Amino acid sequence: MQEVIAKDAESPLCISVEHVNRFFGKKQVLFDIRLGVPYSQILGLLGPSGSGKTTLVKVIAGIDTATSGNVWLLGEKMPKLLLMNKIGYMAQSDALYGELTAEENLRFFASMYNLRGAKQKQRIAEVMSLVNLSEHLKKQVKQYSGGMKRRLSLAISLLHEPQVLILDEPTVGIDPVLRKSIWNELYKLRDNGTTIIITTHVMDEVEKCDYLGMIHDGKLIASGTPNEIKNATSSNTIEEAFLYYGGASK
């Protein structure tokens, strides 16, 4: 299993990664990554810290550029500035303005996506309700806890109802009850046509994804549906399957 593929040969791909390599100086961090993500699906990228997950999603989002290889998103070759309004990206590090209130942060980012007036107000209310922060809308972000900042970052990534949503470790520091509600919303987004990539190291979360890519030392070591990966390794859990592939890759 070398690449995530569409459900059938006729299914179009929302995201296609073709033989992507990434070097930082002489150090190679991505090795010949090949994967495809169908429209309206959730792809989970599983791997330990330093495995290359964040670099890969940055290349897909157009924030970084591959040293070699190509990335296609929504039928366009990346990076492409005109596609940025169609992508929601939540980084591991929260890009928030601490001196501003949550509402002011949301308004700032909404204006970048040309959301104004009644529509802006509506979307701010909707995304803050989703992440259970409505009561903290007027609070300065520097007064937020780490988990609250993660939730606000998620809200910002959803503001403009992107066609492609890329979330880098979105549920770190979020309690299990809220995590469940966030996943319920991700399913709704998927069912309404959003294609989602989520990086995680939480094993129970990868089971929730339609497809899964396992990354180890910058290489895509396995891919497929969670059941396909478990069946291929005669594993009862994704964790067992990852250990099987991780060991085999050394």
Sequence-ordered list of residues with C-beta below 8 angstroms from that of 41, at least 6 positions apart, any chain: 14, 190, 195, 196, 210, 211
53 touches 64 (CB < 8 A): no
| pLDDT higher than threshold 70 for residue 78 | yes
For residue range 194-247, list pLDDT tens digits in order.
999 999 887 888 899 999 999 999 999 999 999 999 999 999 999 999 988 875
Angstrom distances, CA of residue 109 to CA of 18, 41, 78, 219: 31, 26, 22, 34
Task: Look up residue 226 and give its two tokens.
Answer: 């969670």
Sequence-ordered list of residues with C-beta below 8 angstroms from that of 24, at least 6 positions apart, any chain: none
For 122-135, what is the mean pLDDT? 94
**How far apart are the C-alpha atoms of 88 and 163, rounded to whole Å?**
8
pLDDT band at residue 11 under the 50/70/90 scheme: low
| pLDDT higher than threshold 90 for residue 92 | no
Q: Where are the domains of the chain?
A: 13-93+165-248
Q: For domain 13-93+165-248, which architecture applies?
A: 3-Layer(aba) Sandwich (3.40)
Helix (H) or strand (E) holding 187: helix 176-191
| pLDDT higher than threshold 90 for residue 180 | no
Could you tell me the end-to-end alpha-carbon distance of the chain, in angstroms, rounded to an integer? 17
Q: What percent of the chain has pLDDT over 70?
A: 94
Closest Cα partner for 92 from 129, 67, 69, 63?
63
Q: What is the pTM of this model?
A: 0.90
83 touches 57 (CB < 8 A): no
For residue range 29-68, list pLDDT tens digits in order.
999 999 999 999 999 999 988 899 999 999 999 999 999 9
Predicted confidence at residue 193, as pLDDT, reads: 95
Angstrom distances, CA of residue 224 to CA of 5, 135, 187: 8, 41, 19
For residue range 12-34, list pLDDT tens digits in order.
899 999 999 999 999 999 999 99
How many CA atoms lie within 13 Å of 36's alpha carbon, on the beta-carbon side?
14
DSSP lists the bridge partners of residue 35 as: 17
